């Protein structure tokens, strides 16, 4: 670090080789201890902690000031670095062999009493977010945000080394139908018109490639107005990548080299490349999910054909019968809890066979099963077989979730392992039965595989997309696809999704025009920065890897955003509030007032379910139950 009048070293720099040097340190008082005449202060900055020793006999003015120091005072200390006596060495601190014998101590800034202590456990999250500047001083968050910065630096160096250009795209853009609701911004200069904050730069990055910039990347901020949870926020950051004349092997290689370097430099962990690959169909069949955690087994098994003539009517009448072998004899209490979880995931119940230590079966359904069925299902002594009988999709959802739950509960997961996996050959479309139409699984610009290019409209339920996701330890880091570059093919996909020619022109006319003017083949990927840091840091809560996040109600307790605006601002925009009094701002747990133009009809009441969208999900990770892509 460059020396300044404020400090010559960072607090975490002091080492035995510096003994005898004069140092100037500046930072926050993490702790103060009075030992008779001596005062000890742990001085902290981003790099670490150095212990200050203030001796009243050597520095009486500094000692007088040290007695006034409280936690989180900002101090500047000048003195000589000395070695600690053997009995006071602290092996748990990188600076634990030395301490600064202070000659001059300045109180640069004082602190009011703290709402919580930095080492306090189980602090309410709302209180932490209310005083986020203080919360961010905690060691864990300092580490997480530092890790994030280190990771982004590596990403930029790797992308530029591979020939990708960092190109920024607009934040104010056109509303387009994607997976989540748009955040809309009224235009003062164009009354009655609105911008939308981008859910992703999908169309814009395609246009960048059409414009001749054959390798694009961006660390992009994206906005999605959707319900929140621990691993979902409304503002996300993603690595956005696009290339002309795409080669899947090249794209995968660039991503794998980038991840290998991130894990090596950030965690000191070597990960093996190339990453394994698996089709969506295989992943769903074996693990019941498109983002499997492959650090442990417990694979799903299929008994549909075997049970077609079963005397157990639940099995015989189900579209699919699948099961999971658990390497433990579960108690009735265990089974009751698992059944409750299964019902939360959509199961009607949870059939089971329990084998005791002698291999004897215990189950209310055993008497209905044939010898062939029992032989197929027989488990090892002290084990349990769990069944799901429903549609194929429902059995995947229930058993896939039970598998993940049991992997954690039974200690089957190696927390120090990282298993990366590419999932490819996704379905291109899925049926929205409520809306009575097809939707895109990834997004409507995704290219069908070559075998489905001319006939995807004939069997949309079976058509496959040239799309891929990257998964690690059961977390979807992101996804991508090859895009449609032919306007005729794009129009056909739009038509299947229920967009007529007039609506296509209104919503995507500029894209269709661009594709008609010499668009090269192109494709790319989007990877969630927030999710990457979450996995790197081992954090279950996405908000703990973001500097200034909103809470689960989409509110910033620190600033009070979203906040009211003045009547003057509303008048300038030609807006009026409907559904809430100006004097009563909405509770963070209640829907905000709708904003409409004075000449618009009154909108539906807050809380009305959103209408189904004619297209699929946007790209980049937003949650574990959403199919994300780029």
468-511 pLDDT, tens digit per residue, is 999 999 999 999 999 999 999 999 999 999 999 999 999 899 99
pLDDT surpasses 90 at 609? no
Q: Is 131 exposed, middle or buried (0-12, 13-18, 19+ CB in 10 A)?
A: middle
**Domains along the sequence of the chain with CATH:** 16-109 (2.40.50.140), 120-284+469-487+514-619+623-627 (3.30.930.10), 296-409 (3.30.1360.30)
pLDDT band, very low/low/confident/very high, at 596 (cuts 50, 70, 90): very low
Could you give the percent of the chain with pLDDT greater than 90? 84
pLDDT surpasses 60 at 115? yes
Average pLDDT in the chain: 90
Calpha distance 243→227 (Å, rounded): 32
Task: Give pLDDT tens digits for 27-38.
Answer: 999 999 998 789
Task: Give pLDDT tens digits for 505-548.
Answer: 998 999 999 999 999 999 999 999 999 999 999 998 899 999 99
Which pLDDT score, from 0 to 100, does residue 251 have? 97
Quote the DSSP letter at residue 572.
Answer: H
When pLDDT is averaged across residues 136-154 and rounded to a whole number, the result is: 97
When pLDDT is averaged across residues 268-293 and rounded to a whole number, the result is: 97
Give the residue carrying structure tokens 């690959």.
277
When pLDDT is averaged across residues 41-67 and rounded to a whole number, the result is: 96
pLDDT surpasses 70 at 57? yes
Contacts of 462 (CB under 8 A, 6+ apart): 427
Sign of the CA dihedral running 70, 71, 73, 76? positive
Cβ atoms < 10 Å from Cβ of 452: 19
Q: Which residue has the higher pLDDT, 211 or 584?
A: 211
């Amino acid at each position: 670090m460059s020396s300044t009048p404020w400090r010559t070293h960072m607090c975490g720099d002091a080492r035995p080789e510096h003994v005898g040097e004069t140092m100037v340190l500046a930072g926050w008082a993490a702790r103060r201890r009075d030992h008779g005449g001596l005062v000890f202060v742990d001085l902290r900055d981003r790099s670490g902690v150095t212990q200050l020793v203030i001796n009243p006999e050597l520095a009486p003015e500094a000692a007088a000031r040290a007695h006034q120091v409280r936690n989180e005072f900002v101090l500047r200390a000048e003195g000589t670095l000395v070695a600690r006596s053997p009995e006071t060495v602290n092996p748990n601190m990188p600076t634990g062999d030395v301490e600064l014998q202070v000659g001059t101590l300045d109180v640069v800034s004082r602190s009011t009493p703290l709402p919580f202590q930095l080492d306090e456990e189980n602090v309410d999250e709302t209180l932490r977010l209310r005083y986020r500047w203080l919360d961010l001083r905690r060691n864990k968050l300092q580490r997480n945000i530092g890790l994030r910065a280190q990771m982004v630096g590596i990403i930029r160096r790797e992308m530029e080394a591979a020939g990708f250009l960092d190109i920024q795209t607009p934040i104010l853009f056109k509303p387009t139908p994607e997976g989540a609701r748009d955040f809309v911004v009224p235009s003062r200069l164009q009354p009655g018109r609105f911008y939308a904050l981008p859910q992703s730069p999908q169309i814009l990055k395609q246009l960048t490639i059409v414009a001749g910039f054959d390798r694009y990347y961006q660390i992009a901020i994206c906005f999605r107005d959707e319900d929140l949870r621990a691993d979902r926020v409304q503002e996300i950051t993603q690595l956005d990548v696009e290339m002309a004349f795409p080669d899947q092997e090249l794209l995968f290689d660039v991503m794998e080299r980038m991840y290998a370097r991130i894990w090596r430099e950030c965690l000191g962990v070597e990960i093996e490349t190339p990453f394994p690959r698996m089709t969506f169909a295989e992943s769903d069949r074996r693990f019941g999910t498109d983002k499997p955690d492959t650090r442990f087994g417990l694979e799903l098994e299929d008994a549909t054909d075997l049970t077609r003539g079963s005397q157990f009517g639940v099995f015989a009448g189900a579209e699919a019968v699948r099961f999971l072998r658990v390497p433990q004899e579960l108690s009735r209490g265990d089974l009751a809890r698992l059944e409750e979880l299964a019902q939360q995931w959509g199961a009607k119940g949870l059939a089971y066979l329990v084998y005791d230590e002698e291999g004897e079966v215990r189950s209310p359904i055993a008497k209905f099963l044939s010898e062939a069925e029992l032989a197929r299902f027989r488990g090892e002594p002290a084990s349990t077989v769990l069944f799901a009988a429903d549609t194929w999709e429902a059995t995947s959802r229930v058993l896939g979730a039970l598998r993940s739950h049991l992997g954690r509960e039974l200690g089957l997961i190696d927390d120090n392992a990282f298993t990366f996996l590419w999932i490819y050959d996704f379905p291109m479309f899925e049926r929205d039965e409520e809306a009575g139409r097809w939707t895109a699984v990834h997004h409507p610009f995704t290219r069908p595989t070559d075998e489905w290019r001319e006939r995807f409209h004939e069997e949309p339920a079976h058509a496959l997309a040239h799309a891929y996701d990257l998964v690690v330890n059961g977390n979807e880091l992101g996804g991508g696809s090859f895009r449609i570059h032919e306007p005729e093919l794009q129009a056909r996909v739009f038509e299947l999704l229920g967009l007529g020619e007039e609506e296509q022109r209104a919503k995507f006319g500029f894209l269709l025009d661009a594709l008609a003017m010499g668009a090269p083949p192109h494709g790319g990927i989007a990877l969630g920065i927030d999710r990457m840091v979450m996995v790197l840091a081992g954090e279950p809560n996405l908000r703990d890897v973001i500097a200034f996040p909103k809470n689960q109600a989409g509110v910033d307790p620190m600033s009070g955003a979203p906040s009211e605006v003045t009547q003057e601002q509303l008048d300038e925009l030609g807006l009026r509030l409907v559904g809430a009094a100006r004097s009563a701002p909405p509770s963070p747990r209640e829907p905000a007032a709708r904003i409409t133009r004075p000449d618009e009809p009154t909108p539906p009441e807050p809380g009305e379910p959103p209408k189904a969208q004619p297209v699929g999900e946007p790209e980049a990770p937003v949650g574990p139950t959403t199919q994300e892509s780029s």
